[in-house]
Amino acid sequence: MVTKEKILEVLKSVMFFPAKDNIVSLKMVKDIKVEGKKVSFTLMFHKKDEQYITVVKQSCVKAIEGHFGEDVDIKGNITAKFDDDEGLLPNVKNIIAIASGKGGVGKSTVAANLAIALSKTGAKVALVDADIYGPSIPMMFGVEGEKPMVKEVNGKTKVIPIERYGIKMLSIGFFVDPNQALIWRGPLASGALKQLFGDALWGEIDYMVVDMPPGTGDIHISLVQSVPVTAAIIVSTPQQVAISDVKKAANMFRVPSISVPILGLIENMSYFTPAELPDNKYYIFGKNGCEKFAKELHVPFLGQIPISESVCESGDSGKPIILEDNSPVSKALKEITDSIIKWVDIRNVQIKPTERVKIDPN
């Protein structure tokens, strides 16, 4: 006898390979209906250009017919729906992912300061700390130890983001012991990150800045496929060893199943200028390495951020350097922010807000 419970049990054998888990565990199966031998249900996908829809549908038919027999009426009765249809982050206009090919290049520092720089223009800004194994945003904003409040909305529990310097933010660091190492496998980590986006009361947001984990991996792919990312910015330092990893990050975003435009490349720790010699620049790690590589990748070069002791001090004290209006670092960040806003404005003119970016940022 065909029942909903048996259908669910059979569908546990159907894998959704991008997330490396079965479609039942991923809660992709909705609205199962059984009328005698007729079976119908809905499959939920994160985006409309999902390349695996046909494969998953065919796997479902094969699994059900293999268990119940070919006389079961299932073909043509599987519907695909998408998170976009249900309004995933409907009030967020632009999502900018800040990524790096490797750790230690100052990606989180750049993400935190860019978020505040965008907010200073009058925009409504959110910041999501998706660096799940090394969340540092709480420290950079001086909100370590704070716990987000929750609120019931339409029968669902929603998290209220922490606010600081005009930024709404969430981090996995708000929910775990900062002294305890996170040892999470890919699906668990990806699931936790999705909750930061979908289970929060963000309100109206012009720019959501996402501090991605360093490197490339399952979490990056799952996250980018789950959230409608507008574009990615890659941060690197001038050393050749760092630049070589940038190509991996760029290639990840260019994979057809991800297809996220690269807004540009930022070179951090570009040069050192002594306070007593403001006109001097000392290129400790090499000169213009990222600018040259940006040309090779055919992506915009957004600018250089100098080395400054005040950057470390400001981050450790919970007051990002961008709050100091007259520093060389602040000036560089403001120029980069202007380039970001210009790119996004062009993008929003050329396509509808609900469409995924397909234009060349060059």
| Percentage with pLDDT > 70 across the chain | 87
Residue-wise pLDDT tens digits, 287-305: 878 888 888 888 899 999 9
Which residues, including other chains, have CB under 8 Å from residue 346's CB and lie 6 or more apart?
Answer: 359
Q: Is the model's pLDDT at 27 over the cut of 90?
A: no
Rounded CA separation 297/254 (Å): 11
pLDDT in the model for residue 12: 94
Q: Average pLDDT for residues 134-152, to the nearest whole number?
A: 88
Q: Is the model's pLDDT at 13 over the cut of 90?
A: yes
| Banded model confidence at residue 59, pLDDT cuts 50, 70, 90 | very high
The more confident residue out of 90 and 161 is 161
Q: Average pLDDT for residues 118-138, to the nearest whole number?
A: 90
Tokens matching residue 162: 């922490």
Q: Is the model's pLDDT at 63 over the cut of 90?
A: yes
pLDDT in the model for residue 359: 29
pLDDT in the model for residue 247: 83
State residue 277 phi and psi, 5-degree precision. Answer: -130, 70
| pTM exceeds 0.85 for this model | no
Q: Average pLDDT for residues 4-20, to the nearest whole number?
A: 90
Mean pLDDT, the chain, rounded, equals 82
Tokens matching residue 359: 């234009």
Q: Is the model's pLDDT at 190 over the cut of 90?
A: no
The more confident residue out of 101 and 163 is 163
> Which domains, from first to last, does the chain contain?
4-83 (3.30.300.130), 92-350 (3.40.50.300)
DSSP per residue, 200-261: B---SEEEEEEEPPSS-SHHHHHHHHHTT--EEEEEE-SSHHHHHHHHHHHHHHHSTTT---
| Banded model confidence at residue 125, pLDDT cuts 50, 70, 90 | very high
State residue 258 phi and psi, 5-degree precision. Answer: -110, -60
